[in-house]
Structure 1
């Protein structure tokens, strides 16, 4: 299973998102700091879920990082998060 597939499984289980897109940005960072050569070092997550209604941007990111366990910072160097509630 790729890191992207693992993130998708974890996020779907935690947030039942109405929208989820995991974009692998690693090719844009080839040769830069944090590029481990795996092709899975930099990602953008776009997620929409009812779980984020009334939750601050910072707490949304904390919840997502928590759901992903050791992936951010350990197995993925950079993770951009765009989280929203359906009514936004």
Structure 2
């Protein structure tokens, strides 16, 4: 497997399967939020991520619809401790 931890690896698998992205980057920002709400103080706890996705699936969708789609796909992760996402979502050819 890759160097991604468990939650990140699950998110990658789900997003690749459902969105078939041409680009997918997942960055764990949890350490930067160690003392924020949603953290339980455990080292390595995966709670905050930045995700960048380029997918044909986003074509014709507005920004809100794209975010809703990704949040819905990752709903089980939010239910199990994911606290926050920073998303950059586009269709191929968009800047």
TM-score of the aligned structures, taking structure 2 as reference length = 0.85
Distance 1:68 1:77 in 2: 11
For 1:74 and 1:26, the matched residues in 2 are separated by 15
- Structure 2 residue 31 is matched with structure 1 residue 32: no
Is there any run of 5+ residues in structure 2 with no aligned partner, and where?
Answer: none
Counterpart selection for 1:55 from 61, 67, 78: 61
- For 1:86, the equivalent position in structure 2 comes to 92
Deviation at 1:17, TM superposition (A): 0.2
Q: Mean Cα displacement is larger for which, 32-41 or 76-85?
A: 32-41
How far, CA to CA, are the matches of 1:86 and 1:72 in structure 2?
A: 27
1:3 is matched with which residue? 7
Is contact 1:46–1:81 with CA below 8 Å preserved after alignment? yes
Structure 1: 5+ residue runs without aligned partners?
A: none
Cα distance change of structure 1 residues 77 and 3 upon mapping to structure 2, 3 Å threshold: same
Normalised by the length of structure 1, the TM-score is 0.91
Aligned to 1:16: 20
- 1:74 CA drift (Å): 4.0
| CA-based RMSD | 1.4
